[in-house]
């Protein structure tokens, strides 16, 4: 039974986002990089935030520029509230505006709820949920009407996953915050949504306890008989960043290959 798809989907050639500017946190690896590629392929200039790997950032910027757009990388810990102003100051300096914010960066410590300590709690809440709030607050003043904010959630926001407690709670906070932002920003013609991905083939999940066992179970329960790819999540994120999604706001879009049907 097939469990992964190794071939990347082609970068789209339509240029319907020409001249737009996107900020993607955690934008140099996995889902974030896939989103950056697809946005750039549609003509969108991109600022990617990263924390650790300068090499990955340089490679990402070069790839995006190769698609005919302007791209910059801004290093900093998105879980540190003091960094948010620096991030958007650099984006404003490079591009003058922000049309799209993709809050993708995520961190967490795997632990059952009775083992969660202050460090695990703070890491997940600050990097995952708090970053969405304060990045939105910094991005919105730079957004013209028609702006888009998309955050990343997961199935652990609504169902039990062993060892996922602090992360799952932070994802639930993201979903609630998405609805509040959507309502309050609608008068500014800004759409706010979240994408809740199922089990996706990324390096981040390979450190999950009992990864192999979980992979087998997910493949068994998923109607398509495989796990998802970052490109498949990115397709939905990018759709929500286009004018075709202008009547969608405050929604949590589940992208899991039908896993939650069983």
Q: Is residue 229 part of a domain?
A: yes
Which of 22-31, 114-123, 205-214, 237-246 has the weakest average pLDDT?
205-214
CA 141 vs. chain centroid, Å, equals: 21
CA dist 5 and 26 (Å) reads 22
In this predicted structure, what is the pLDDT of residue 13? 56
In this predicted structure, what is the pLDDT of residue 212? 82
Mean pLDDT of the residues in the chain: 92
Q: Which of 163, 19, 170, 41 is nearest to 100 (CA)?
A: 19
In this predicted structure, what is the pLDDT of residue 1? 42
By the 8 A CB rule, do 220 and 2 touch?
Answer: no
- Give residue 58's domain range: 21-255
Q: Is residue 14 part of a domain?
A: no
Partners of 72 in beta bridges: 47
Check 38, 50, 164, 259 and give the catalytic one.
Answer: 164
Q: Is residue 262 part of a domain?
A: no
Structurally, the chain folds into a number of domains equal to: 1
Check 38, 148, 171, 259 and give the catalytic one.
Answer: 171
Mean pLDDT of the region 181-206: 91
* CATH code for the domain in which residue 235 is found: 3.40.50.720
Q: Is residue 136 part of a domain?
A: yes
Q: Is residue 4 part of a domain?
A: no
pTM over the 0.95 mark: no
In this predicted structure, what is the pLDDT of residue 4? 45
CA dist 175 and 160 (Å) reads 16
Q: Is the pLDDT of residue 146 over 60?
A: yes
At 31-62, the pLDDT tens digits run 999 999 999 999 999 999 999 889 999 999 99
Under the banding of pLDDT at 50, 70 and 90, the label for residue 14 is confident
Mean pLDDT of the region 158-179: 94
In this predicted structure, what is the pLDDT of residue 159? 92
Whether residue 171 lies in the annotated active site: yes
CA dist 206 and 117 (Å) reads 23
Higher-pLDDT residue of 46 and 200 is 46
Q: Is residue 240 part of a domain?
A: yes
Under the banding of pLDDT at 50, 70 and 90, the label for residue 167 is very high
Q: Which residues in 150-173 are b (16+ Cβ under 10 Å) and which e?
A: bbbbbbbbeeeeebbbbbbbbbbb
**169 to 131, 156, 165: CA distances (angstroms):** 14, 8, 6
Q: Is residue 194 part of a domain?
A: yes
Portion of the chain with pLDDT greater than 90, in percent: 81
CA 47 vs. chain centroid, Å, equals: 14
Partners of 101 in beta bridges: 23, 149
**H or E segment and range at residue 215:** helix 211-221
Whether residue 164 lies in the annotated active site: yes
In this predicted structure, what is the pLDDT of residue 40? 97
In this predicted structure, what is the pLDDT of residue 234? 97
Q: Is residue 113 part of a domain?
A: yes
Going across the sheet that includes 45-50, the strands are 71-75, 45-50, 21-24, 100-103, 148-154, 191-197, 252-255
């Amino acid at each position: 039974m097939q469990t992964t798809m190794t071939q990347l989907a082609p970068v789209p050639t339509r240029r319907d986002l020409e001249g737009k500017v996107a900020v993607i946190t955690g934008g140099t690896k996995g889902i974030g990089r896939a989103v950056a590629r697809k946005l750039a392929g549609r003509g969108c200039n991109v600022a990617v935030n990263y924390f650790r790997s300068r090499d990955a950032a340089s490679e990402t910027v070069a790839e995006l520029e190769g698609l005919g757009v302007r791209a910059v990388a801004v290093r900093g810990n998105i879980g540190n509230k003091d960094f948010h102003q620096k991030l958007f100051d650099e984006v404003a300096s490079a591009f003058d505006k922000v049309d799209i914010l993709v809050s993708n960066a995520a961190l967490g410590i795997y632990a059952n709820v009775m083992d969660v300590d202050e460090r695990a709690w703070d890491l997940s809440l600050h990097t995952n949920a708090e970053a969405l709030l304060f990045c939105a607050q910094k991005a919105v003043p730079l957004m013209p009407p028609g702006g888009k904010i998309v955050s990343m959630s997961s199935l652990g926001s609504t169902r039990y996953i062993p060892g996922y407690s602090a992360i799952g709670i932070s994802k639930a906070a993201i979903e609630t915050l998405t609805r509040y932002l959507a309502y309050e920003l609608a008068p500014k013609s800004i759409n706010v949504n979240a994408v809740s991905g199922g089990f996706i083939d990324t390096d981040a999940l390979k450190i999950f306890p009992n990864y192999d066992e979980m992979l087998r179970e997910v493949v068994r329960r998923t109607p398509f008989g495989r796990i998802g790819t970052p490109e498949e999540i990115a397709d939905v994120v990018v759709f929500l960043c286009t004018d075709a999604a202008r009547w969608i706001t405050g929604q949590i879009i589940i992208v899991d290959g039908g896993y939650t049907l069983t």
